[in-house]
Structure 1
Amino acid sequence: MNTPLLVQPLTGIRGYLVPMSCADLGETTQFFIERLGFRIDAIFPADNPRTAILSGANLTLRLGVGLTGGVTKLDVQCDDETQLGGETRSLIAPNGVEIRLVAAEPRMKEPVNRQELVLSRVQDGVHWTVGRAGLRYRDLLPNRHGGAFIASHIRILEGGPVPDYVHFHKIRFQMIFCRKGWVRLVYEGQGEPFVLNAGDCVLQPPTIRHRVLESSAGAEVIEIGTPAEHITMADHDMTLPTPVLDVDREFDGQRFVRYEKQRASWAPWRHDGFVASDTGIGEATKGLAGVRVVRPNAPTFVHQQQHASDFCFFFVLSGTTTVLQGEDAYELAADDSITIPGEMPYCFTRCSADLELLEVTLPANPVLSANA
């Protein structure tokens, strides 16, 4: 007979017991008390104890003499999992159980940057995958520079509330550019929720708590981050918005930035014949990264240029252009992108009057050389 599926959560749950066998109850109990900070909740029978209930760090153990089927390994989350000395990250309890110390918050990986020229064009076919909170992801950098960078075109299919939660990222750099529609967001220390409209951009400093609240149907954003495989941590204790406004606060050396298209100002770009609107991310990251919106303002002359940078990415927001790289010509239109390695000569030509590019570079101002 099939057991009916429970559709309602169980009530009255106080905790979960982890069974563990031992031969010497007293010695094993003392180990968990003295080394791992547990306490005794119950022990029985009084005249010849064979079972002890211990609790600590949100875990309850049931130690039993001769118990069958108990755990043989136990992972313990620590703020410093190397505190036993040297590289040792485990110890053996008197009952033979291996206690493995693991980081309570996983560390950020820093892979080696393997740059390459990457072209992502809509006409070549677009594949969207389902990611966190039901968002659709288009990967603009499939090999991810060896894991050093990620570039994603993200789409929210349905409008309304987004099933998100307060969280933060362990990351070196992360920015969000609103491509289409709008997204309503809230950030730690930045006041009330606000709307990120098409053409707007934010810098999300490492560890800043935030939450996506709602969006328009079909909203799209471009997200750039390093490293590619970064860690997202939930914060169940923080409520947003926070009561204290602290717009100048630094998070791992970076300040939050909100760039609004309607307030944009324009200045000559580093390439002749173009102007750029700087988002302020270069200053807020102390030169780590730069994000700009770029437009042509004069006939473009073919000047091969190259940069000294870890990452140089262009996304076509509107219009068309051709990127020349040596004898190769790459035609780009709206929603196409190109990632150009450092030291590789390139230039833009045949730019339409309505061309607009999103540029992301690390560092903020790459050193350039130019040749006519």
Structure 2
Amino acid sequence: MVQLGCDALLPTLTFFTEELSFRIDAIFPADNPKTALISGYGLRLQLSAGVANATPRISLLCDDPATVDGGRRELTAPNGTVVRFVEADPAYRLPATVQALVVSRSGDATHWTVGRAGLRYRDLLPERHGGAFIASHIRILEGGEVPDYVHYHKVRFQMIFCRTGWVRVLYEGQGGPILLKAGDCVLQPPMIRHRVLESSAGAEVIEVGTPAEHITIAEHQLTLPSEDLPATHDFGGQRFVCHLAEAAPWKPWRLDGFEHQDTGIGAATDGLAGVRIVRPAGTGASTTRQQHESEFCFYFVLAGETDICYDDQRLHLGVDDSITLPTGQRYAFENASADFKLLEVTLPDAVALTATVD
């Protein structure tokens, strides 16, 4: 309960009940009211006459602030309290993409931070492409039950790739727990309710999403597992995908000398994004120099090693290194080891590539 002081009770009480539709829960004394208890917008207020007002500003959550008092975002009560209207369920905000070439190295100096539910996070894209994208290497230190809860995200795109170990998760409409092992991948469509149940000790995942800053909302109504939904069910314009690496075929990649597994995320997002696992089709594989015209192009080394050549640079990439390439950047993979394996994430899925010969 929040206390609001006022010189006289009636003007402030009338403001909250008539202009903002608060309801009166209690008022006393009857012959000369000095105190009123009112409620609305999920908030309880105590209005107290003859008390200094120590609450200069409050925010009220509502479905659509434009429908309150002619769309005014702020009102001032007779006691001087500024009442601000805030959208209770805002859509995500997508900043303009600011692309850059970003290399993230793994090693002893790698910095990990503590995030939600005690997970450790390694930031693979510190400048976040201007806030438009986030790429994280996430580690679960302790095995067993994960202190998570049913929640969902307001995102444009979000995928989870199981890097090492295993994770058991629940997703809305997908039946019982899903076991994700190393190499498996899920598309988490916008607003799908989910929960991490348990994991192996030291399990790691790679998460890529847009926008970088998005809202995570706890779900208190729906419990999981929930009633099964058809495979074509639409979650914010996307369909749930669970790619299981053991059952997925390998097919030629877009460039000679390599092959790939397609996770199906391109089809499930109607071309918004694509996620593939790439490996050499032979030894010492190299690609012709190429460039892409996409919004986002991210590579994470899952196994082995390779050189990536761009401009006049030759950069050696090893396990757990990543590189994000800006549109128009010409590059090539050279001298890939036989055990080399690469995670590729692009937006859009159909990368406009130009292969060139130096």
Report the TM-score range of the alignment, normalised by the length of the smaller protein.
over 0.9
Deviations 1:95-154 (A, max 9, x none): 222111012134312111111111112247311111111101111111111111111111
Stretch moving more, 176-185 or 139-148: 139-148
Of residues 235, 238, 243, the one that matches 1:254 is 238
Letter in 2 for 1:371: T
Deviations 1:292-328 (A, max 9, x none): 0001113535511101101111111111111111221
Is the CA contact 2:53–2:79 (under 8 Å) kept in the aligned structure 1?
no
The aligned residue for residue 300 of structure 1 is 285
Of residues 321, 330, 344, the one that matches 1:345 is 330
Alpha-carbon distance in 2 for matches of 1:190, 1:276: 26
Deviations 1:11-60 (A, max 9, x none): xxxxxx32112234223222222222222222222222222121223322
Alpha-carbon distance in 2 for matches of 1:107, 1:256: 20
Is the CA contact 2:19–2:69 (under 8 Å) kept in the aligned structure 1?
no
The aligned residue for residue 270 of structure 1 is 254
Letter in 2 for 1:340: L
Aligned length: 356
Of residues 167, 171, 183, the one that matches 2:167 is 183
CA 1:20/1:79 → structure 2, altered by over 3 Å: closer, same or farther? Answer: same
Alpha-carbon distance in 1 for matches of 2:69, 2:30: 38
SS in 1 for 2:126: coil
SS in 1 for 2:12: helix
The aligned residue for residue 230 of structure 1 is 214
Letter in 2 for 1:67: V
The aligned residue for residue 362 of structure 1 is 347
Alpha-carbon distance in 2 for matches of 1:327, 1:124: 28
Alpha-carbon distance in 1 for matches of 2:38, 2:133: 45
SS in 1 for 2:66: coil
Is the CA contact 1:153–1:223 (under 8 Å) kept in the aligned structure 2?
yes
Following TM superposition, by how much is the alpha carbon of 1:162 offset from its aligned partner in structure 2, in angstroms?
0.4
Letter in 2 for 1:283: A
Q: Does 1:317 align with 2:302?
A: yes
SS in 2 for 1:283: helix
SS in 2 for 1:251: coil
Of residues 121, 139, 144, the one that matches 1:155 is 139
Following TM superposition, by how much is the alpha carbon of 1:87 offset from its aligned partner in structure 2, in angstroms?
6.6
Question: Where do 5+ consecutive residues of structure 1 fail to align?
Answer: 1-16
SS in 1 for 2:330: coil
Is the CA contact 1:189–1:247 (under 8 Å) kept in the aligned structure 2?
no
Identity of aligned residues (%): 59
Within a 5 Å distance, the mapping from 1:55-204 to structure 2 comes to: 55-84=39-68, 88-123=72-107, 125-204=109-188
Deviations 1:72-91 (A, max 9, x none): 22210011123347873111
The aligned residue for residue 333 of structure 1 is 318
Alpha-carbon distance in 1 for matches of 2:69, 2:323: 47
Following TM superposition, by how much is the alpha carbon of 1:64 offset from its aligned partner in structure 2, in angstroms?
1.8
Q: Does 1:282 align with 2:269?
A: no
Deviations 1:218-260 (A, max 9, x none): 0000000111111111112221111243332111101110000
Alpha-carbon distance in 2 for matches of 1:234, 1:314: 31
Alpha-carbon distance in 1 for matches of 2:19, 2:197: 44
Superposed CA RMSD: 1.6
Question: Where do 5+ consecutive residues of structure 2 fail to align?
Answer: none
Q: Does 1:208 align with 2:174?
A: no
